[in-house]
Structures are given as structure tokens and as C-alpha cells.
Chain A
């Protein structure tokens, strides 16, 4: 399809997408190129209104005067961000973008949006993301324009670097730790632009050291799957788990809680009193699951705050007791975490001791060896055990016990403003908001999730982009979701052209066929000399019979069975279809592309003969936003005219972003059931792309991709047509490569190479 010069006039396939594109009124061709596919991805998750908001936000970002990069990054990232933290976060994200634009830091918008998706996925809740945005804005405010006292005219040197490192940072640190790490950088390097940038790039030893210092405990994100399994397996009560962070609210720490949206947990737990962070998470979940199973809400209006506090303590103790009954192994965990207040720790003359008394009561209900002497406490504990003796009892019965206890132990000093808090907080317990119903205020309505409205049956035509990471050798870390790869069927052409090419090589083809018949495994293999088999092996049987007759011990292995061919291999041929293939071969009339087509035709024919599962795909790239991956032959397709047609139509253009293509092809191969999986790459040059200046970068990424594939059981072999390949090909592919210095030999060499590799 020819593309109009003005991107605004670009035609989209889908009429609704067309309407949105018109609405965008955007002149960037790069955006026009990927717009439709991005919208398709979003359409699978968003309602109509969410789509409108998405497009409106993209439009805003296209008007900042900062080129296509921010829009592209946003279009790609947002569906994934929204999937992780909800569409409501759009407001927070756009507010941050506006704040950056309004300061001298507009150039940081692109890096901000580029890493937003992995950051959001790791943080997993809108609150956590908002916390992250606040940290970034704090960094911006404190490092912008303050250099040598000039005002807000100089951009923050550290901010773009911070955004670029953000995925790695949130991977390693809880939010409070991130806040401390940023704060340290501002305080120590606020006045040195270069060092500040290096600090936030993690290029200073100091910044790495602080990072290590702040990393501790069990992070929610790392424990999430185990916690989900725990709730399912032990409580049959799977709930969405939503992390929150505490450093933010320093005055009043948030306590775990649950509501209709899920269970809220802190983003990190350190080990305490010999209980690991993971087990603390489990204890917290168990307590909430216990409430969900055994508690019923009480009307709060008639009771004083003191009375309610007492009811909560006793009800919590009942829940813990039932938890221990259900899983005795929880008892030592809960007892290690539950405080054990000293009986005389609180002075009732000067301090309100109600919390202290209740914490002791709670301890005594769980711990037979509590050792407290107070008679009222001991009587209440006895009544507690009696209530639970033959069943789970209930919240109302606990309320009765609690009110009686408060009445019997009441002291005037309970009203004192000074409250004894030490050793009275049981931190695996939730805040009990579900325990109370208020008649007066009316039912607090919960926000309902109204995502994913029913959508029309119309199916998008292209596939949504796949995102792949890219290895950044400078920082020795992956840039998550860095590359967008679009896969499609290669358009079809004229199959007869391939047949003509094959005819041209008729002699070669015949030679290949003879070779193939030699290596082709027999479809059925006989396994002889079997004691048990599917068939009598007459030769052997007669021999045995003769032995038997002549008094010799006969061989009992007179049966045979069959096994189908032992050759179990899957092969994917990946073709570099970059612009350079259009060059003429030195001293000839043919282009490298034409020679490649001939070679692939011969190979296709050969492999069809061998009956190995075999696929062909091509790729090229136009910056990291657009790697095109084109299917020419699928594993299940035969080598027929459809396939030949696609190969005939193969054209060359753009650049060679190898890593993403290797990862995508490798993923397809890794799914094949075969003893050996071979990814055969045919390329005429080194990895390169127009948005990457340092060629070493894409080399390092390709090498990394080859390593990843090896770990998944996929062998990669590179056949290079680049005479200069010796400089780098070994570095990327190790020994698994061959450089063909006479390109005209390709049609002959490619099938031979294949046979040699798979013999």
C-alpha cells in the first residue's frame, strides 16, 4: 500500500480507528505507522470511554513540541500500564507529564513514558504508582534550576537518568527505600550536574552502595505468586492482592486491610522475631481470610470508641485462635509476632492503660503460658475458651465478652490523653474496617470496576504489538519492553517465480535430492531381537527353532517391533530482509535478495523432502518502535504455492534489529516439541538500526538474545554473507556461525549447511 505524504491523511483499516486518527490530527509518520496496531491492543481491554481518554491523552502528548517520541512511548505503554494499575491512573500520569512540560524538564517526558509500563507492572497498584510519581516530582523540584542559584531555567541533570533506571530501581527496592535512595542523591550530588547524572544512572559506586543498603526484606512483588497460591491452597479464598507503601504516611502507618477490591499488603516485610518476611505475609493473609470466613459486621453506632477497641481485640483473638485450630503450624508464627506486654509495663496513675490491658488479654487468649496474674483477665480468658470449645463461636459473642471486660476493668485514667502504645500493636492484623457497619452514615458505596464493556464482534485485523526487552550493556541491565514487534503474514506474490528459480538450479536440485535420500531416515525402523514385540521375526524364530531342535538353548528374543524415525528436530529459518539486501552481488547482475530467495527455495524443497517441521520468517526494523516480523512459512504449512508466493514477494527495506527478531522467533521455536530446535539466521550484515548510534549496543543485545534462546533449548546458527562479519559474528554467535565470502555460492551452500547441521 502506498502511503500518502501527509500522515494526517493516512488511511486506517478499521473505521473506528480512522475516526480516532482523524481526532488525533497528528502529522508524525512514525505515529501513523503504528497507531492502528496500538489501538487494537487497547481495544482488547478498554471501554469506549477509556479509548477516548487514551486517544485524547496521546493527542495532548503530540502537541508538546517534543517530536514523536512521547506519543509513541505513550501509545505503546498505556494499555500495559492500565492493565497493571487501572485506567484511573491516567490522570496521575498526565499530571506528571504536564509538570515536566511546565518546567525546563520537557525532554524527560520521553524517558518517563518509555519506562512507565515495566514500572507500573512491578508496582501493581495506582497508589504505588502515585508514590513513584511523587518521588520523581520531588526529584524534579529539588534538582531543577537550583544550580548556582539561577532560577528554574536549568533542567534537572538527574531526572532523565532516573526515569531510565526506574524499572531496575523498583525491581530492587521497596518504595521507602527508593525514596531514601533518591533523597541521598539529591543531598549529596544536588550541586554537581555531572555527578548527579552519574548517581541516578547508577554509574557511581556510591549510588550502587546506597541501593544495596536500601534493599532489604521480602518484597511484595517477589512474593506475590506464592501468596496467591497460599490463599488458594490453604484458604480456598483467592483475592486480588494490592500492595501499598508506608514511608509516605510517616505519621500514621497504614495497616493491612481488605475491601471489595482485594487485600492490601505492605510492599515489603522484613524478617522479625525469627519469622521470615514471607511468613509474615502469610500470617497477615491468614488473618484476613479468617475474618472473611468467620466474622460478621456489627452495628457500631451504639458503642463508644473504647468498647469498639475491646470488641476488635477479642474478635481478632478469636480469629487467631481459629486459625491455629485450622493450621496448628500457624501458632508459633502468630505467637512470635504477637507482642507480649509486661503485666506492670503501664502505670495507670499517669497513663491510659486500656490498650495495654487489651493487648495482654489478646495474648492470653492465644498463649496458654501467658503467666498473667490478673483475675479478671484470667476469668475472661476462661470464658473465651469456653465460648470456642465446641465451635467457632461468633463476633456477637465476642462483643458480649469484650463489653463485660471493659466494664469490669474500667479506670478513670483510661480517659487520660497519654496512651500506652508500647507492645500493643499486633501488626499481622488488619484494621478491621470490615467489622463495622454504621447505620447513620448509610452504606459506604464501593466503587465498582466497570472495565471491559462488551465490545462489538469486529476483530482487529493486525495483531497487537509484542514487546521485547533489549540488553543495555552500558548499565548491564535489560530495558524492559523496549522494542515493539509487529508480526504479520507476508503478502503473497507469484509462486511461479520460485519454480523458475528452482528450474534454473535444476542440476543442483537433483544433486541435493540424491544426497537427501541418503540421509533421509526410514520412516519405520525395525527393532529386532525383542522378547516381547508386535510381530514374530521369522528369521530369528527359525534360527531359534533349529537351535532348540538341536538341543542348544534357543534365543528367546524372536520378536520384533517398529519404531518411527528417530529424527526429532524443528527448524526456523529467519531471514534478514533489511535494505542492504537490495545491493547487487559484486561482479553480477543479481541482488543478494534474489540469491537468498534461490537459496531458500532449494532449502525449502530439501526440508520438505526430509519432512522436518520447518518454518520461515523474515524481519526488518525501523527503530525500536517498529520491528516487523513476517511469516513466510508456518510449521504446519506445506511447501506449496501459497508459501512460495510469499517467498517470491519478499522485499528488502529498513534496518536489522536482530535481538527482538531472534527472541520472537526463538519463542515460537521453544514451543515446538522436538529433541532439537534450530534457529537458522541468514543475514548479510551486522545488527543495526537508525535510532542506535553505538553498533556495540545491538551486538551486545543480539549476543544476549542468543544466550536466552540457548537457555530455552534453542540452538542459534548464523550464516552471514557479510565479508566483514569476522569482526563481530564470533562475538555474537560464538562458534555457531559460518561466513560465506562468495555470495554466489549461497544457493548451494545453504541446503548443504542445513544437512550438515542436522545430520
Chain B
């Protein structure tokens, strides 16, 4: 078992640039073992934040990227075959509850709602996880904590969290960092020079201005980091921006033309 715990520990301090007092707030939430919901657009640093907090609190971290095909057994566990016959294998949520890890369910709305409800008993005073198929009820380790991330920008009826689920979490609001800070993050993360990082962030800003006017989401910090990595590998800045920042977010010809123009305007 101790073997297991070690493999989930974050060995090296991850780079995380705080945007406000989220680190202290999180420490308080963890001390109270409150379930936490990180709200914000994709690629703005939510996952990085959890990694950083897990490292800081010296807790193992188990991350699950949620998707549509995921079923409750993918979280809780299932029977497998073994030399002796069938054998039960804990799912990531169960493992986390047993070993006292932080369990991070990333983009939870992607999972179907009937999947999501299995977390409910873990998020109230009971702190238990019933394994129906196995006939076992796992009581969560005192250090266990559940964290979910959630992008409210989707605004699709099909992809929203149930109110009964939302009501179980302390919420942290995330957004893209303000330009100076974001440029610092990109420069530090990729080793690119600060001037280029600043231009990339400026370009991201032009795309974010179009949110709600043909773009559902702007360019994420993650995409800015990608563009910077391409440039670091010797790709010409304009080509890097088109590939990593403009093309991924839209197929609308007018918007593409506008973003391409912005690339040319910024990287003359």
C-alpha cells in the first residue's frame, strides 16, 4: 500500500504563479476537508494549481480526466480476471479515498450525470464510498479530499452540473491571468524571452475580445504556452501563432482572417 501512496506524490515543486489569495484559501479549505470546485475556462491553470497544492500540502494526487464514455465503474472499480478467478480492482476514486489522496476530477461536466452522482456520499458528512458491486462501503481516509474542475462557459444544457452536485463544493473562480502576469507565466514555463511572451499574450487578448461574438472561448493560457514552445523549437512566430493559437479555436473564415491579421499586426 505504501508503494501506492508514493507513486501519487508530486516529487518536485510544480511552477505555479498565484493570481490572488487562492493558495491560502485552499489551505483553509483543505484543513476543513471541504470538497473544492475550481471554476474557470479551459487552460487557465486549474490543474496546475491542484498539483501545486498537493505538493505544498504533501498529499498524493490522483487525477481523472473525465469524458463522455466514462462510467461509474471507471471511478469506483471493477472485477478483473486473475489466477484465482475474478479479482476486484479499485478505481481511482476508491484508491484516493483509501489512501487519503486528493482526488481531482478534471472537467467533470464531460462525464454523464449518472456517473457524477457516485461522488455524492463522499462530499457530505458521511465521507463514504459505497462499492455496490462488491458489497463494501469504504470510509474515506481522514486526509482524503475531492476536487473537481468545471468550465461554466460551455453553457450547454446537456453539459451543466446538477444543482444538487454544485451545492456540495466550495468554489474557486479562475480566469486567465492579467497580461503582465500571464506573460511572466509563459516566459517562465517555456523559457521564451519576455518580449515575445508579451506579444503572445497580447494576441491571446485579441481573441478573447471576440468571446461571445463568434468565439465560444478565447485562447487559453495553455495555447499560449504551446505557441511559445513551438517558437522555442525554432518555428517562426507567425506560423507558431497560427498553428497553436488561431487555427485551434475557430473555423469561421471571418474570425480566422481577423486573427491572422492580428498575428501580422503584432509580429511585424
Which A residues have a C-beta under 8 Å from some C-beta of B?
225-226, 229-230, 232-234, 236, 279, 282, 327-332, 532, 534-536, 541, 544-545, 548, 554, 558-559, 561
Contacts and interface: CB of A to CB of B under 8 A. Distances in A.
A536 B79 CA distance: 7
A536 B73 CA distance: 11
B89 to A, nearest CB: 11
Interface of B: 69, 71-74, 78-79, 81, 83, 85-86, 206-207, 209-210, 213-214, 254-255, 257-259, 261-262, 264-268
Most A C-beta atoms less than 10 A away, residue of B72, B78, B267 = B78
B237 to A, nearest CB: 12
A155 to B, nearest CB: 44
B81 A229 contact: no
16 contacts: A225-B254, A229-B254, A229-B255, A229-B258, A232-B209, A233-B206, A233-B209, A233-B258, A234-B262, A234-B265, A327-B268, A329-B265, A534-B74, A536-B78, A536-B86, A548-B83
A558 B87 CA distance: 13
A545 B265 contact: no
B262 A541 contact: no
B268 to A, nearest CB: 4
Given A234-B262, A236-B209, A327-B265, A544 B81 contact: yes
Contacts of B254: 225-226, 229
A535 B76 CA distance: 12
Given A229-B213, A232-B213, A329-B264, A541 B258 contact: no
A234 B266 CA distance: 10
Given A233-B258, A233-B259, A327 B79 contact: no
A53 B2 CA distance: 84
Contacts of B258: 226, 229-230, 233-234
Contact of A232 (B79, B210, B265): B210
Contacts of B265: 234, 327-330
A669 to B, nearest CB: 20
Contacts of B264: 329
B213 A554 contact: no
A554 B81 CA distance: 10
Nearest to A235: B209
Most A C-beta atoms less than 10 A away, residue of B71, B72, B209 = B209
Nearest to A225: B254
A229 B268 contact: no
Nearest to A238: B213
Contacts of B209: 232-234, 236
A230 B207 CA distance: 10
Contacts of B206: 233-234
Contact of A534 (B73, B86, B257): B73
A236 B218 CA distance: 14
A197 B264 CA distance: 49
Contacts of B259: 233
B255 A329 contact: no
A548 B255 CA distance: 58
A559 B85 CA distance: 15
Most A C-beta atoms less than 10 A away, residue of B83, B86, B210 = B86
Contacts of A559: 78
A331 B265 CA distance: 9
A265 to B, nearest CB: 17
A561 B72 CA distance: 12
B10 to A, nearest CB: 27
Contacts of A282: 261
Contacts of B268: 327-332
B85 A545 contact: yes
A534 B262 contact: no
Nearest to B84: A545
A428 to B, nearest CB: 15
B266 A233 contact: no
Contacts of A229: 210, 213-214, 254-255, 258
Most A C-beta atoms less than 10 A away, residue of B83, B85, B207, B213 = B213
Nearest to B258: A229
Nearest to B267: A329
Contacts of A332: 268
B86 A541 contact: yes
B266 A327 contact: yes
B132 to A, nearest CB: 12
Contacts of B207: 233
Contact of B266 (A226, A328, A548): A328
3 closest A-B pairs (Cβ-Cβ)? A329-B265, A328-B268, A327-B265
Given A226-B254, A226-B257, A545-B85, A233 B78 contact: no
Contacts of A236: 209
Most A C-beta atoms less than 10 A away, residue of B83, B210, B258 = B258
Contacts of B83: 548
B262 A233 contact: yes
A4 to B, nearest CB: 47
A544 B85 CA distance: 10
Given A534-B73, A535-B73, 6 more contacts: A229-B254, A234-B265, A329-B265, A534-B74, A535-B78, A559-B78
A254 B219 CA distance: 39
Contacts of A558: 81
Contacts of A327: 262, 265-266, 268
Given A534-B73, A544-B81, A545-B85, A329 B213 contact: no
A668 B220 CA distance: 35
Contacts of B255: 229
A328 B264 CA distance: 8
A315 to B, nearest CB: 22
A532 B74 CA distance: 9
B81 A541 contact: yes
A523 B234 CA distance: 53
A534 B76 CA distance: 11
B266 A329 contact: yes
Nearest to A541: B81
A561 B78 CA distance: 13
Contacts of A225: 254
A536 B78 CA distance: 8
A329 B266 CA distance: 6
Nearest to A229: B258
Most B C-beta atoms less than 10 A away, residue of A233, A329, A535 = A233
A330 B261 CA distance: 10
A130 to B, nearest CB: 29
Nearest to B210: A233
Contacts of B85: 545
Contacts of A545: 81, 85
Contacts of B262: 233-234, 327
Contacts of A331: 268
Contacts of B69: 561
Nearest to B69: A561
A544 B74 CA distance: 22
A687 to B, nearest CB: 35
Contacts of B81: 541, 544-545, 548, 554, 558
Given A233-B210, A282-B261, A534 B266 contact: no
A279 B257 CA distance: 11
B245 to A, nearest CB: 13
A534 B259 CA distance: 43
Contacts of A535: 73, 78
Nearest to A544: B81
Contacts of A541: 81, 86
B254 to A, nearest CB: 5
A671 to B, nearest CB: 15
Nearest to A549: B83
Contacts of B72: 534
Contacts of A548: 81, 83
A720 B86 CA distance: 62
A279 to B, nearest CB: 8
A558 B80 CA distance: 9
A133 B80 CA distance: 81
